[in-house]
Amino acid sequence: MKEYLTSKTFYGNTLFDWMLAALIIIGALIIGKIVYWLIGKTIKKMASKTKTKFDDIVVDMAEEPFVFGMIILGIWYGLKNLKLSDNAEIAVNKGTQALLIINIAWLITRLFDALIEEYLVPFAKKTRSDLDDHIISITRKGFKISVWMIAIIMALDNAGFDVYSILAGLGIGGLAFALAAKESVGNFFGGIAIFLDKPFRVGDRIQTCGYDGVVTTVGIRSTRIRTRYQGRIVTIPNLMIAASDIVNVETEHGRQIFSVYRLTPDMNEEQITSAMDILKRIAKSDKDTQEKVVTGFFAITEYSRDIMLLYWIKQNTSNLKTRTRINLEIIKQFKSNNIELVKANPVHAKMDQVELL
């Protein structure tokens, strides 16, 4: 039997050589299984006892590629014990190198993806804008695609393919794609510019590109604004916003309101002074106005005696509701104190109030 095993040859190797190679490969599979079990039972438990999660992630993401690498080397070592032809030996060596390159790419992408998921994704979820979520998603995909492309090119090069021709073809195709996707790329980088500069956030009222409204969404390609008066959603490409002037209305300390009240010419000094005191008292006492209030008697005409009121409405309060409440109280107080407004000529009798909304 021993002579049969050592004398009978198949493809240049004895039966014993084939059996030894098979045992080495099976042994590599068994050892890989044992190492995988040991990592789960010992190293993972040790990593879980540390304060940081970084080592847990590294161990968890590296165990499968590490075991797979051991199995690849075991198969290679088993086949190296056989007497192979030159072409077969070259194929085994190149195949092993290609598999190891793919294995390393697998390890890098797994580790990168896990670190992004653990550290950057929770941070992005806390922000009001969803632009950073899009950027993280694109970065993850772009990094993995880049790593796999490099790994595949290196593996093909080791396998004997003409990589330069492949790269030349990819370069021409990439140029054509870049030209076709010029606007999309511009909008993408415009979105990054908005994210980095932070001229506004979701929920801010802004004025840009001829629109005035509240930002509802900041995406990777465009920004959506709900217009203030019509309540319509307007989608504006990020490239246009990045290149335009942006007025962030939310950054103002308060909405300035300037009003003119034209009193009748028969109002005496006491009544005019009383009217200004009433205006100041009403504006100051309202819950949604700021403390600073200015009144003045600034014009005398044959038709009227003009007094003014200047005050500021607090942020995050309703401009229209506040002004309505103040104006109703002014009418009430003027009436009770016999202070009359000009009625005869509509041009002069109107109350001039700037910026109604």
Q: Which residue has the higher pLDDT, 232 or 351?
A: 232
**pLDDT over 60 at 187, yes or no:** yes
Residue 42 CA, chain-centre distance (Å), reads 39
Q: How much is the pLDDT for 19?
A: 82
Q: Which residue has the higher pLDDT, 348 or 87?
A: 87
Q: Which residue has the higher pLDDT, 171 or 13?
A: 13
Q: What percent of the chain has pLDDT over 70?
A: 82
Q: What is d(CA 311, CA 317) in angstroms, rounded to the nearest whole number?
A: 14
**What is the CB neighbour count within 10 angstroms for residue 303?**
15
Q: Where are the alpha helices (DSSP H) in the chain?
A: 2-7, 15-38, 44-48, 54-80, 86-115, 121-126, 131-158, 163-180, 182-197, 238-243, 269-285, 319-336, 346-349
Class of residue 196 by CB neighbours under 10 A (exposed 0-12, middle 13-18, buried 19+): exposed
Q: Per-residue pLDDT averaged across 77-89, rounded? A: 80
pLDDT band at 217 (very low <50, low <70, confident <90, very high): confident
Q: How much is the pLDDT for 267?
A: 92
pLDDT in tens, 251-302: 767 778 889 999 999 999 999 999 999 999 999 999 999 888 999 998 998 8
Q: How much is the pLDDT for 233?
A: 92
pLDDT band at 352 (very low <50, low <70, confident <90, very high): very low
Q: Per-residue pLDDT averaged across 311-335, rounded? A: 89
What are the chain's domains? Answer: 2-162 (no CATH), 192-250 (2.30.30.60), 254-353 (3.30.70.100)
Residues whose CB is less than 8 angstroms from the CB of residue 350 and which lie 6 or more positions away in sequence, other chains included: 262
Q: Per-residue pLDDT averaged across 206-211, rounded? A: 89
Q: How much is the pLDDT for 330?
A: 94
Q: What is d(CA 218, CA 195) in angstroms, rounded to the nearest whole number?
A: 9
Q: Per-residue pLDDT averaged across 336-357, rounded? A: 61
**pLDDT over 80 at 192, yes or no:** no
105-109, Cβ contacts within 8 angstroms, sequence gap of 24 or more? 105/147, 105/148, 105/150, 105/151, 106/64, 106/65, 106/68, 107/61, 107/62, 107/65, 107/66, 108/147, 109/143, 109/144, 109/147, 109/148
Q: How much is the pLDDT for 127?
A: 67
Q: How much is the pLDDT for 178?
A: 55
Q: What is d(CA 168, CA 153) in angstroms, rounded to the nearest whole number?
A: 12
Class of residue 219 by CB neighbours under 10 A (exposed 0-12, middle 13-18, buried 19+): middle
Q: How much is the pLDDT for 354?
A: 42
Q: How much is the pLDDT for 285?
A: 92
Q: What is d(CA 220, CA 194) in angstroms, rounded to the nearest whole number?
A: 10
Class of residue 305 by CB neighbours under 10 A (exposed 0-12, middle 13-18, buried 19+): buried
Residue 150 CA, chain-centre distance (Å), reads 27
Of 198, 201, 247, 242, residue with least CA distance to 221: 242
Return mean pLDDT, the chain: 80
Q: How much is the pLDDT for 130?
A: 62
Q: Which residue has the higher pLDDT, 59 or 102?
A: 102
**pLDDT over 70 at 59, yes or no:** yes
| Full-model pTM | 0.51
Q: How much is the pLDDT for 274?
A: 94
DSSP string of 170-231, one letter each residue: HHHHHHHHHHHTHHHHHHHHHHHHHHHH-S--TT-EEEETTEEEEEEEE-SSEEEEEETTT-
Q: What is d(CA 90, CA 170) in angstroms, rounded to the nearest whole number?
A: 28
Q: What percent of the chain has pLDDT over 90?
A: 21
**pLDDT over 50 at 310, yes or no:** yes
**pLDDT over 60 at 174, yes or no:** no
Residue 311, amino acid: Y
CA distances from 300 to 259, 307, 317, 351 (A): 16, 9, 35, 16
pLDDT in tens, 105-160: 999 999 888 888 877 777 777 766 666 666 777 777 778 888 888 888 888 877 77
Q: What is d(CA 193, CA 158) in angstroms, rounded to the nearest whole number?
A: 41
Q: What is d(CA 119, CA 241) in angstroms, rounded to the nearest whole number?
A: 30
